[in-house]
Structure 1
Amino acid sequence: MFFDIQGEGFFERVILSACANYFVFLQARLIDIIAPSASRNSNNSLHFTLFRSSSQYSVDFIIVRKVDYKVVCVVEFDSSTHDWPDSVRRDLKLNTVLESADIFILQSRSPDFLIDAIKSRFF
């Protein structure tokens, strides 16, 4: 949830953690960061079904490589709302779609863990 993240000053920390080679965007919809593609998955029917049913989901942050605008990472700050049964189902579906699109996912309840992981992966 955006307000949980904003209250922690988390967004500013993510931006400061990303090096000069990346953009950081907040609250991106899945449909804006990946497109269904026949070449991405050998089981196209499953891929399209998952994509269609989750395309309006949003993620907390995306990290985009400046050179080619490729989404290289999705960052999800998991608040306690991610324990709700609907949220658990949503997260499983979202992770499946992102993995099938070869997008790296960082997901945690710990802002410090996420910041450290961003620094170690992108510096």
Structure 2
Amino acid sequence: MVALFPALCILPIGRGALYHVGVQESTLIKGIANAMFAESDSKGTAAWIHPDGQVPVMVLVVVIVLLVLLGQLFGSRSSKGAKPEYRYRARTSVMSAREEEFYHRLTAILGPRYLVFPQMHLSALLDWHIKGQNWNAARSSINGKSVDYAVVEADTLQLLCAIELDDHTHDRPDRVERDRLVERIFSSAGLPLVRFRDVERMSDSQVRDAVFSHMRRM
């Protein structure tokens, strides 16, 4: 009977899932079995086995329940390290309606000589591998931050400037602090950052002059 316990160490847990009991669990189960066989008669037959050699149904039920409980216990323990899988859905656009409207206007103003890339992360625009500083800390400082647009030269893809399209949300204290930090980062990197607030009130020539006057000269 004890020899049969390793074969019972694959238990059904949940909906159709299988849980394999490890060495420690198998040893524990065998210990339970040995305890059940501890009291024997002179013929070596376990005291709880019926004289006709049949194992009582109640005993089998108890054994099965113990196995299931052990499987659930150790199964839940092994699943704690599993990473959850989240669900996502595609956005209809990478920009807000206002950002998209200004994007089309900006590309028309600058012409074919320049390309405008929207929603650019700072980690794609700035190099943090500077000698003498902690690279991981420097990258963490800009991680998760982005600008609304980056302007590059069409032929060479040289980065010329970044553009932020501000609105009333930038008046919040946390956004003001964030904007000042981003401005300091761009200034230290030598990359111009152009900010537009009431761009709807600006003419195309004013927008063009503001961008061209801040572009990096390569």
Quickly name the TM-score band, shorter chain normalised: 0.7 to 0.9
- 2:164 corresponds in structure 1 to 76
Identity of aligned residues (%): 26
Q: Secondary structure at the match of 2:211?
A: helix
Distance 1:86 1:114 in 2: 27
State the 1:114 CA deviation.
3.6
Secondary structure of the 1:76 match is strand
* 1:44-123 superposed matches below 5 A: 45=133, 49=137, 51-111=139-199, 112=202, 113-118=206-211
Q: Deviations over 1:73-92 (max 9, x none)?
A: 11111100000111111101
- Aligned-residue CA RMSD (Å): 2.6
Separation (CA, whole Å) in 1 of partners of 2:97 and 2:139? 27
The structure whose Rg is larger is 2
Q: d(CA) in 2 for partners of 1:27 and 1:104?
A: 16
SS in 1 for 2:99: helix
Shift of the 38–60 alpha-carbon distance from structure 1 to 2, 3 Å rule, reads: same
Rounded Cα–Cα distance in structure 2 between residues aligned with 1:99 and 1:109:
20
Give distance in 1, aligned partners of 2:183 and 2:136.
14
**Which structure's relative contact order is higher, taking Cα pairs within 8 Å and 6+ residues apart?**
1
Equivalent residue, structure 2, for 1:5: 99
Change (3 A) 1:32 1:47: same
Provide Cα deviations, 1:19-55, integer angstroms capped at 9, x if missing partner: 332210111111111111427xxxx549975652223
Partner Cα separation in structure 2 for residue 96 and residue 121 of structure 1? 16
Alignment correspondent of 1:19: 111
Q: Which residue of 2 aligns with 1:28?
A: 120
Partner-residue secondary structure (3-state), 1:82 = helix
Relative to structure 1, the CA distance from residue 121 to residue 21 in structure 2 (aligned partners, 3 Å threshold; closer, same or farther) is farther
Instruction: Point out the more displaced range, 10-19 or 49-58.
Output: 49-58
Paired with 1:27 and 1:70, the residues of 2 have a C-alpha distance of 17
Contact 1:17/1:118, CA 8 A, preserved across alignment: no
TM-score (norm. length: structure 1): 0.77
Q: State the 1:11 CA deviation.
A: 1.0
Give the Cα separation in 1 of the matches to 2:153 and 2:119.
17
Amino acid at match of 2:108: L
